[in-house]
Amino acid sequence: MVCIITTSRYPTRRIRSFTKDLNKAIPFSVRVSRGKKGIKDLTELSYKYGLSRVMVISKYKGNPGKINFLKLCNGELSYLPFTILVKGVQLYREIPVSRRIQIDKEEIESFLLFSFKKQGLFEELNLISTAFNIPYKVIESLTELKNLDFRTSCLLVKKDAEVRISFHDSETLKEIGPRIKIKGILQWKKKK
């Protein structure tokens, strides 16, 4: 199981569209409209859906600005000690039609996070793998994906000194979800 996807309070249209795109691309996820729901309500929903993670998308100047993750542990939700700072997103509908494919979410039974060995994004892979509670793999080339037993995958890649996340169908290698440009990952120390 992966996560509940929700927003901070008063999301913009673009953030709502972004959460819908993420929900379609990430298997075993559930999108929840935040409304007046607090942490206790999200905890109850985590139990209801049997999910141990909650992804909260916050806004910055009307666009997705940061992504926080909460983990269900000992009956309570607590923040994981990092925040993904978002530089920008490209919604699924904004990706050229020739580069994308639509898959029925019910067809997706497995999900893998991966990156290329030569890019050295090991710390980022580890943090995002922890956030989603999914495995990750470091590969040499895209052709290796076709030999893996995962229907969809989340690619972490560095391009022009920016880290980007995209979601792909492992059979066709076409995109199935939004693209996310990461400004950075802010880590903090847990209080004792």
The answer to the question of residue 133 being in a domain is yes
Q: Based on the domain organization, do 107 and 173 belong to the same domain?
A: yes
Q: Based on the domain organization, do 65 and 115 belong to the same domain?
A: no
Structure confidence at residue 1 as a pLDDT band (50, 70, 90): low
Q: Based on the domain organization, do 126 and 169 belong to the same domain?
A: yes
Give the end of a domain, one of 86, 110, 141.
Answer: 86
What pLDDT digit, counting tens, does each position of 7-28 carry? Answer: 998 999 999 999 999 998 888 8
The answer to the question of residue 140 being in a domain is yes
Give the end of a domain, one of 58, 86, 114.
Answer: 86
Q: What is the DSSP string of 48-74?
A: HHT--EEEEEEEETTEEEEEEEEEEET
- For residue 143, CA distances in Å to 10, 37, 68, 110, 148 come to 42, 43, 32, 18, 10
The answer to the question of residue 74 being in a domain is yes
Residue 187: pLDDT over 70: yes
* b/e code 128-139 from CB counts within 10 Å (16+ = b): bbbbbebebbbb
Q: Based on the domain organization, do 168 and 102 belong to the same domain?
A: yes
Q: Based on the domain organization, do 60 and 80 belong to the same domain?
A: yes
pLDDT at residue 147, rounded to an integer: 67
Give me the number of domains the chain comprises: 2
The answer to the question of residue 192 being in a domain is no
What pLDDT digit, counting tens, does each position of 64-90 carry? Answer: 999 999 999 888 899 999 999 999 999
pLDDT-wise least confident of 59-68, 90-99, 147-156, 159-168:
147-156
Domain that holds residue 113: 97-186
Judge contact between 53 and 70, C-beta under 8 A.
Answer: yes
Q: What is the distance between the alpha carbons of residues 118 and 70, in angstroms, rounded to a whole number?
A: 31
The answer to the question of residue 92 being in a domain is no
The answer to the question of residue 68 being in a domain is yes
Q: Based on the domain organization, do 120 and 69 belong to the same domain?
A: no
Give the end of a domain, one of 27, 57, 86.
Answer: 86
Judge contact between 77 and 46, C-beta under 8 A.
Answer: yes
- For residue 158, CA distances in Å to 6, 86, 155, 163 come to 27, 14, 10, 4
- Residue 139 is part of a domain; what is its CATH number? 3.40.50
Nearest to 70 by CA among 46, 88, 92, 90: 46
Q: Based on the domain organization, do 180 and 105 belong to the same domain?
A: yes
The answer to the question of residue 115 being in a domain is yes
The answer to the question of residue 162 being in a domain is yes
Nearest to 188 by CA among 15, 51, 69, 13: 69
